[in-house]
Amino acid sequence: MLDGVVKSSKYASSYHITPLEGLLNDPNGLICFKGIYHVFYQWNATGTTHENKSWGHLISKDLVNWERLAPALVPSEYYDKNGVYSGTAVEKDNLLYLFYTGNVINEDGSKVSYQCYATSEDGIVFEKHGPMFEHPPGYTRHVRDPKVWFEEEEQLWYLILGAQTEDEMGTAIYYTSRDLKEWTFGGEMFSPEELAKLSQRGFMWECPDIVTLNNQRVFIYSPQGIEAQSNRYLNIYQSAYLTIKKNQQTFMIEHPEIVELDHGFEFYAPQTFVDKNGNQLMFAWMGVMPPEVEQTQPTIAEGWVHQLTIPRVLTFENGKLYQRPAQQLSTLRQSKQVFSIENKWEIKPKSMALEVDAIFEEASGDFEWKIKESTQITYQQKNKRLVISRLNWFTKLPEQRIIELEDDLKVLRLFIDGSSLEVFVNEGEAVASLRYFDNSNNRLSYHGTNQGQVTIYELKGEK
């Protein structure tokens, strides 16, 4: 967003959600309440470190044009004095409920977590009601990120939390309620037998979420401690999904393989919500990275760091989770250019706020897209590999992520925004997100010999 310190940034993201200043991370409390979209997010307004977290607050009628409001929740009570951590939102009886984790650091340095809630009649001014229940026995203090939803058949509210067992294994626990105020502990979502099915478990699960897409339940979460395997699980922490089933209060894992949601460098803490048309949408944080890399990100010197992804529509097709750019983003389109992809070409746009839509008449052959000087997207038809590479701003060395496709590449969509790139492959069958920092002149080039065309839109930024 072109406001605050981002407005004058050399790396400004114009149509993505960014902080006014300071540090942004997890999206929180995503909801459409009384016809208005609310996006809350973890925000340190006082600096670019992971401290002093409040809930930043934006509202919109269309998911494109955003208005900033005062922080919805700030550290103020004994149960959240050191940080208002991540959570969710629901509507009940014309009230907006926010559920969150309160972070407390005691005088002796020990840390405590509380699961709390707040309510609002207008979605702007919130009243805190404090902790909902005691910390569950058998788990470390790492219990956080409540997600709440309503089960129609049971007429019951569910609340799930990411957690770490006392033997430092990642898991999720759940509670149930009739009124969102009195909660009953249900235990762990998955039995030991179900958890044993997983290919990997990790030492902590964050930001759990459950969505139902085309009658398929999908469990979305951000496990920490997953070991890298070939071209998978290469980031410091992952975000992934499992297909699951539910029978009353019993949750079962259908397929034990942890499927990454995003194949890029920066994607974490996704959260879903329903738009005005009944679509399941998702935002995520484009920021998780090793601390030494984060604190050398070039925007730190400008007084801000991180952004959210664009909103993505989720569907479940052919046994897979698909992610597509939200249709509302098409209203950002301004000037349009159409090129053949039979020969090489290059453009030098005024702004690097672009949507690039490439459609191949036949299965794509080899090609290379280049963004400015240091970011490339190449395709190797022989082994159906899409390779995304950039220059790491900390190591000053090139690095890459590889997407191994099952089918031929036929559609490629790029959303470029100043210092960010989101890649959608074959109508969202695979997605990759990343930040890049390149001070060279604006440039987008293509090298390849294919049948088809590419449409490039310059996109307007949000001011």
**Domain end call among 309, 341, 364:** 309
**Domain end call among 248, 277, 309:** 309
Chain centroid offset of residue 68 CA: 20
Residues 6+ apart with CB under 8 A from 399: 265, 389, 390, 391, 392
pLDDT tens-digit profile of 49-76? 999 999 999 999 999 999 999 999 999 9
Whether 253 and 191 map to the same domain: the answer is yes
461 vs 99, higher pLDDT: 99
Q: In this structure, which amino acid lies at residue 286?
A: M
Distance CA 369, CA 377 (A): 5
Task: Report whether 388 contacts 401 (CB < 8 A).
Answer: yes
Task: Flag whether 99 is in a domain.
Answer: yes
Whether 45 and 140 map to the same domain: the answer is yes
Whether 143 and 180 map to the same domain: the answer is yes
With a pLDDT cut of 90, the percent of the chain lying above it is 98
Distance CA 321, CA 280 (A): 12
Within 10 A of 193 (CB to CB), how many other CB atoms are there?
Answer: 9
Is the model's pLDDT at 463 over the cut of 60?
Answer: no
pLDDT score at 349? 96
Task: Flag whether 8 is in a domain.
Answer: no
Task: Flag whether 403 is in a domain.
Answer: yes
What is the DSSP code string of 129-153?
A: EEE-SPPPTTEEEEEEEEEEEEETT
Whether 41 and 183 map to the same domain: the answer is yes
Whether 303 and 395 map to the same domain: the answer is no
Whether 66 and 148 map to the same domain: the answer is yes
**Domain end call among 256, 275, 309:** 309
Whether 290 and 336 map to the same domain: the answer is no
What's the predicted TM-score (pTM) here?
Answer: 0.97
pLDDT tens-digit profile of 112-151? 999 999 999 999 999 999 999 999 999 999 999 999 999 9
pLDDT band (50, 70, 90) for residue 462: low
Whether 287 and 353 map to the same domain: the answer is no
Distance CA 355, CA 375 (A): 16
pLDDT tens-digit profile of 325-340? 999 999 999 999 999 9
159 vs 460, higher pLDDT: 159
Task: Flag whether 54 is in a domain.
Answer: yes
**Residue from 3, 26, 145, 262 carrying the catalytic annotation:** 26
Say how many domains are in the chain: 2
Whether 223 and 144 map to the same domain: the answer is yes
Task: Report whether 175 contacts 116 (CB < 8 A).
Answer: no
Q: What is the CATH number of the domain that holds 208?
A: 2.115.10.20
Is the model's pLDDT at 42 over the cut of 80?
Answer: yes
Task: Flag whether 315 is in a domain.
Answer: no
Task: Report whether 74 contacts 54 (CB < 8 A).
Answer: yes
pLDDT band (50, 70, 90) for residue 294: very high
Domain that holds residue 39: 17-309
Whether 117 and 236 map to the same domain: the answer is yes
What is the DSSP code string of 84-121?
A: EEEEEEEEETTEEEEEEEEEEE-TTS-EEEEEEEEEES
Q: In this structure, which amino acid lies at residue 110?
A: S
By DSSP bridging, strand 312-317 and strand 320-325 are antiparallel
Q: What is the CATH number of the domain that holds 413?
A: 2.60.120.560
Whether 302 and 339 map to the same domain: the answer is no
Distance CA 81, CA 75 (A): 5
pLDDT tens-digit profile of 395-432? 999 999 999 999 999 999 999 999 999 999 999 999 99
Task: Report whether 13 contacts 1 (CB < 8 A).
Answer: yes
Task: Report whether 85 contacts 100 (CB < 8 A).
Answer: yes
Task: Flag whether 10 is in a domain.
Answer: no
pLDDT score at 361? 92
Task: Flag whether 314 is in a domain.
Answer: no
pLDDT tens-digit profile of 343-376? 999 999 999 999 999 999 988 999 999 999 999 9
Is the model's pLDDT at 461 over the cut of 90?
Answer: no
Overall size of the chain counted in residues? 463
Distance CA 131, CA 356 (A): 47
Asked if 357 is an active-site residue, the reply is no
Residue 41's nearest CA partner among 297, 279, 329, 283 is 283
Whether 237 and 346 map to the same domain: the answer is no
Distance CA 393, CA 101 (A): 33
pLDDT band (50, 70, 90) for residue 287: confident
Task: Flag whether 146 is in a domain.
Answer: yes
Average pLDDT, the chain: 97
